[in-house]
Amino acid sequence: MQILDWKIDGMHCGGCAQTLQALLARLPGVRRVEVSWPDGHARLLLDPQEASPERVVELIERAGYRVVAGEP
């Protein structure tokens, strides 16, 4: 398992965080996810056998957000 803790740019409210969290939770390989709007962070427990960090970044960017720190 791999722990990812990234700063996310583009979240403007708690709804943004909930939307992003729901999207990430559906990605195969994501075992646990917590997205915090006040902190501006996404924290994930990822099974690298099922999904790569690059795939997670791709999903975040397609949702309209950007990983600004801790990029893979």
**Is 21 a residue whose pLDDT tops 80?**
yes
Summarised one tens digit per residue, pLDDT across range 26-51 is 999 999 999 999 989 999 999 999 99
The structure's pTM equals 0.84
Whole-number Cα distances in Å, 47 to 11, 28, 33, 65: 25, 9, 12, 22
Q: Nearest CA to 23 among 68, 57, 72, 70?
A: 57
Provide the pLDDT for residue 70. Answer: 54
3.40.50.720, 3.10.20.30, 1.20.1050.140, 3.30.70.100: which CATH number matches 2-69?
3.30.70.100
Q: Is 28 buried (19+), middle (13-18) or exposed (0-12) by CB count in 10 A? A: exposed
What confidence category does residue 69 fall into, taking pLDDT thresholds of 50, 70 and 90? low
